[in-house]
Amino acid sequence: MYKLHIKSKVKKYDLNFTDQFKKKLQKYSTGTYYIIDEKVYDIFILKKIIKKNFILIKASEKAKEYNYISKIIDKLIRLNISKKDKIVSIGGGITQDITSFIAMILFRGVDWHFFPTTLLAMGDSCIGSKLSVNFNNLKNQIGGYYPPSKIIIDISFLETLSEKEIYSGVGELCHYYFVSGRKDFIFFKNNLSSIFNRNKEKTKKIIFKTLQIKKKFIEKDEFDTAFRLILNYGHTFGHAIESYFNYKISHGIAVCIGMNISNYISYKKKYITNIEFKEMETVLLSIKKDLGIKKIRLVSYINILLKDKKVIGGMSRIILTKGLGKMFIKDIYLDNNFKILLKKYKDTYN
């Protein structure tokens, strides 16, 4: 029932749900190498299945640093991996980014499969081809597009996630429903509590629906030339928040705040009414009770924004909104007027 076939210009690939991921792993044979989040390896006692040719990583933003990744490549080469072999990635979005980056550049491309283990990875990053790694503590500065051949989702992985990890995942999933339109926004709003209550069947339904929304964007504009750019909604501000706090704030929560900042700017520029702003804010507040940025020094924050890869000549490409399902790209100078607008936002949530 829950299956997707994604048409990619790099390579077509399939996504399937399962409730027996260990049996799926047992089917892999010689010529398979593994990159695994060490927490997942321990919690699910994968040592009984995966006994050789594996590398464990501590999934953190530091692990996504280019210099750290080169060490993983060195280990794979010392394990005698070849171009005809396959890499299986087991973990969340960070493990995915590391694996896909390595798979793309090693021998000019090796095959890889992905078992996502976090809500964020299952409902968002697992499809779309996009990959990014960090450089000199700046998030997602190096990347490309290289999807796995297969994605296998087993939501039993979610049972071990902390509340913080669940909320981060929901924060990321949320933006798809704002972008998709009112009907999907209402669906998300009405079913949001099912994820927090760990309802497996409804959570699976939400994840699948999120992926269906994303599929429409990536198949129309896989390489971020126009249409897919709308999915950056909330992310420019969110990434800068993550960087400002040295990644101590989770990605999904930072995106949540970023969405609210975008909505606030849209409201102040009269693209949406206060009623529309409050409707969206209510859902965001159910994910993050404090959407403020009171601990942020605006000058430092704007300097981080200026380093974003989308900034050219002090002008940033921001996603604003004219209402649910009506996001659009707006070029905004990160000047003193922008600083004043951010200060108004900061004061609003103090």
Query: In the chain, what are the domains?
Result: 3-160 (3.40.50.1970), 163-348 (1.20.1090.10)
pLDDT of residue 314: 84
DSSP H helices, 144-294, are: 163-180, 182-196, 200-220, 235-244, 251-268, 274-287
From CA 256, how far away is CA 266, in angstroms rounded? Answer: 15
Phi, psi of 70 (to 5 degrees): -60, -30
Structure-token match 């896909």, residue found: 100
Q: Exposure of 220 by Cβ count < 10 A (0-12 exposed, 13-18 middle, 19+ buried)?
A: exposed
- Tell me the whole-structure pTM to 2 decimals: 0.93
HSE-CB of 344 using CA atoms within 13 angstroms: 13
Bridging pattern class, strands 138-145 and 130-135: antiparallel
Structure-token match 């039993």, residue found: 156
Task: List the structure tokens of 6.
Answer: 């994604």
**Contact residues for 338 (Cβ-Cβ < 8 A; gap 6+):** 302, 332
- What is the pLDDT tens value at each position of the chain, 350 positions in all? 799 999 999 999 999 999 999 999 999 999 999 999 999 999 999 999 999 999 999 998 899 999 999 999 999 999 999 999 999 999 999 999 999 999 999 999 999 999 999 999 999 999 999 999 988 877 788 999 999 999 999 999 999 999 999 999 999 999 999 999 999 999 999 999 999 999 999 999 999 999 999 999 999 999 988 899 999 999 999 999 998 998 899 999 999 999 999 999 999 999 999 999 999 999 999 999 999 999 999 999 999 999 887 788 888 999 999 999 999 999 999 999 999 999 999 999 97
First-to-last alpha carbon distance for the chain, in angstroms, is: 47
3-state helix, strand, coil in the chain (%, to 5): 50, 20, 30
